[in-house]
Amino acid sequence: MLTEEGLIRGEVEHRATRGRPRALFYPVDATTVNEAAQRRVDDAKRHGDLLRRIDPATTPDPAIAQDPDAVHQLDALYEHLDEQGLDPAPTDDDLELALRPCAFHSLVAEHREVLCRVHEGLIRDVLDRAGGPVEVDRVSASCAMRTASA
């Protein structure tokens, strides 16, 4: 499932010894060529463009709308967060998003900051893969994410 979604890549270990080779898995980041991950980003961009053509009220803040790359990054970010069940909702003009706690939030009460770092890494990769000036500032256990435009 994670490989199909483009979040990890797998390969079979190559070794000269006897026995069954191990299956190795690696996280996918924006520098990794991954057709599934890129397809997800490209689909999100097309979906956002379609929504803006159908309903002009979905056009982002004028300061952001001037940069199509930033708009497409936000399209990809929204799709990613929505697919993860985090229900992203803008909270103010500083590009801050309030997020619903993830499914693992209550399971790792004493290590929520680690979980947030995992989400932050995935978010950075989505933004990098989409290409543009928007960067994540931080993801906090209070379930808010701040983005900063470069």
Sequence-separated (6 or more) residues with CB below 8 Å from residue 117? 139
| pLDDT tens column, 128-146 | 999 999 898 888 766 545 5
CA distance 49 to 23: 39
Per-residue pLDDT tens over the stretch 9-58: 788 988 888 888 888 887 777 777 778 888 989 999 999 999 988 987 77
Reduce the DSSP state of residue 67 to 3 states and report it: coil
> What confidence tier does 92 reach under pLDDT thresholds 50, 70, 90?
low
Spatial neighbors of 55 by CB under 8 A, at least 6 apart, are none
